[in-house]
Chain A
């Protein structure tokens, strides 16, 4: 009898003790308004507004939830807020870095001759002129771009055969024996070698073998190979492992030798994954600065010989232009060139990453039947 008397607007027992669906939006709106009000009192800025609003939002939602739903649900809400918040915090530096590089790099990259000329003969005099008289900023990154390409290609030529053969050994010949396990372990350890130590190793090796003070592009390529080989091994190994065993067995059943099976069946099946892994490895080493800094020296002119003479590269170009501006009195042209080079470098790395994904997708073996 009593139930017929209860008002119709009462919420269902199933959703009782829960926040309404619109709760987060209401709290968010209130938090944004309150945040703006607080910031208006102490001086407004967008960054502070975001932070204050986020804190108010979390506090409001958790408090409301604690009052209506009890402490367990409130804790759940708090954890959700923290987890989402940490993701947003992680995005901040990414956005900030990309924005900084774009904003500072675009003027540099559109300067005439930036991509086509080197720093040969560009002295502080010209930079002072550019600042004081408004002359165009001279100098460019052609020598550094060329150096980066040469060093990276040589490093790839060294790393890919060694890395691929090692991966083949681990998957096809190693049988998880003691040597295979040792190689796997030390390849993993090698991934963690600090890049500067790899550079010092290459420098020390060539100092001992060729002569003290040997600094060429080839030394840098050896240093980069030390960093690149473990990446190539790991990615190729993963790719070779997922080649179905039936393919190998079918080839053996036809009487094909093991090495021909590997070359004609296993590797073609895995080639898309291997190629994308190699591309990612190139993307990793192309931005390495420290190893090149200690092995290839600084150059301001174009050097087409990777085996002789000092060689510039994009990362070391950025580093030297920032740390030792061409004209110490007027560092602005130098920093403009550095940011331009940074933009070029980021574009290169992003293209390589994108290329790796495309290769993996376009040349993926046809699965299914």
Chain B
């Protein structure tokens, strides 16, 4: 009696085990399938644009002539964002991990995380309505005094809706990403290294230079790469802030365009071959960000034993 009931319950339990582990495995595989599907469907829908005769693509000179200015524009915007955000983000991370009073540190970290919580469209609206207006006098000054540099060539845009403004908004958006990753790595520095440096008479800055930064270097690099991935793919900040146009070297004139903003601005009204062209542009963006992210993740996993950012 007892034996049979035990057996029957065991049978039910075994089935439950099988079903449950099968379900978890299926979910895991579904994720891989989705990522594969993203690539597959983008390729399938993009093929018409890649094979169409050059004259039918927007601009009339083929897909390559269409895509390369906006690829360059994307890289310019991301580069501006990183140049501004990286030093500030590392400074903020150091402030929270090594300079701020202990009791305040986690609260300050939360304040910086709030920056990441604000939706991108709100940043875009802020950049378009507030920042662009406030910053355009600075552009006039740059055009007057630094105009001999090709990147500050005048006349400056009167509205301030330039790729430099878009880059500044992007830098605000990637700042919390770089900060939170670097902060975690700074906190992972072995306490003994820090104390040894201080015991030898190093000042706080010398301790950071000798113990913290060398330890955290791979982590910082991967944090910057992840920030780059975000800056490359960010749409709304650019779509709302930048008054787009042809590729220009000057950062303070209107012009330039990024892939993500190009898609967002044109996709809702697109049809036919135009849809394929935009999906192909999305494929290019996907490949670029995938590459950047994979390199960043690879750096992190290679240094897994050190860093906590994984």
Report which A residues bind B (CB closer than 8 A): 72-73, 75-76, 78-80, 82-87, 89-91, 93-94, 96-97, 100-101, 104, 161-166, 168-170, 172-174, 179-180, 182-183, 185-198, 200-201, 203-205, 207-208, 212-213, 226, 229-230, 233, 257-260, 262-263, 283, 286-290, 293-294, 297-298, 315, 318-319, 322-323, 335, 338-339, 342, 345-346, 349-350, 353
Residues of the A chain whose Cβ atoms lie less than 8 Å from the Cβ of B45: 204, 207-208
Which A-chain residue is minimally distant from B16 (CB atoms)?
A259
Q: How far is the CA of A328 from the CA of B205 in the complex (A)?
A: 55
Q: How far is the CA of A259 from the CA of B38 in the complex (A)?
A: 32
Pairwise interchain contact B125-A338, C-beta atoms closer than 8 A: yes
Q: How far is the CA of A208 from the CA of B112 in the complex (A)?
A: 42
Pairwise interchain contact A287-B120, C-beta atoms closer than 8 A: yes
B56 on the interface (CB 8 Å rule)?
no
Pairwise interchain contact B122-A101, C-beta atoms closer than 8 A: yes
Q: How far is the CA of A130 from the CA of B199 in the complex (A)?
A: 70
Residues of the B chain whose Cβ atoms lie less than 8 Å from the Cβ of A204: 41-42, 44-45, 279
Q: How far is the CA of A96 from the CA of B32 in the complex (A)?
A: 41
Pairwise interchain contact B30-A162, C-beta atoms closer than 8 A: yes
Residues of the A chain whose Cβ atoms lie less than 8 Å from the Cβ of B229: 192, 194
Q: How far is the CA of A93 from the CA of B115 in the complex (A)?
A: 8
Which A-chain residue is minimally distant from B119 (CB atoms)?
A287
Pairwise interchain contact A97-B126, C-beta atoms closer than 8 A: yes
The DSSP consensus for interface residues of chain B is helix
Tell me how many residues of B have a C-beta within 8 Å of chain A.
94
Further contacts, 9 of them, CB under 8 A, given A94-B115, A97-B122 = A80-B99, A86-B88, A87-B100, A100-B126, A180-B28, A190-B34, A260-B16, A294-B268, A318-B121
Residues of the B chain whose Cβ atoms lie less than 8 Å from the Cβ of A259: 13, 16-17, 19-21
Residues of the A chain whose Cβ atoms lie less than 8 Å from the Cβ of B35: 186, 189-190
Pairwise interchain contact B129-A100, C-beta atoms closer than 8 A: yes
Report which B residues bind A (CB closer than 8 A): 13-14, 16-17, 19-21, 23-32, 34-35, 37-38, 41-42, 44-45, 87-92, 94-96, 99-100, 108, 111-112, 114-115, 117-126, 128-131, 172, 175, 179, 203-206, 208, 226, 229-230, 232-236, 239-240, 260, 263-264, 267-268, 271, 275, 278-279, 282, 285-286, 289-290, 292-294, 296-297, 301, 310
Pairwise interchain contact B233-A197, C-beta atoms closer than 8 A: yes
A-B contact list, 16 entries, CB within 8 Å: A72-B203, A86-B92, A93-B126, A187-B31, A189-B35, A193-B286, A193-B289, A196-B263, A200-B279, A208-B45, A257-B17, A259-B17, A288-B120, A319-B236, A322-B240, A335-B129
Q: How far is the CA of A93 from the CA of B88 in the complex (A)?
A: 13
Least CB distance, B304 to chain A, in whole angstroms: 11
Least CB distance, B214 to chain A, in whole angstroms: 16
Contact partner of A205 (CB less than 8 A), chosen from B41, B120, B122, B130, is B41
Pairwise interchain contact A201-B38, C-beta atoms closer than 8 A: yes
Pairwise interchain contact A84-B95, C-beta atoms closer than 8 A: yes
Pairwise interchain contact B264-A196, C-beta atoms closer than 8 A: yes
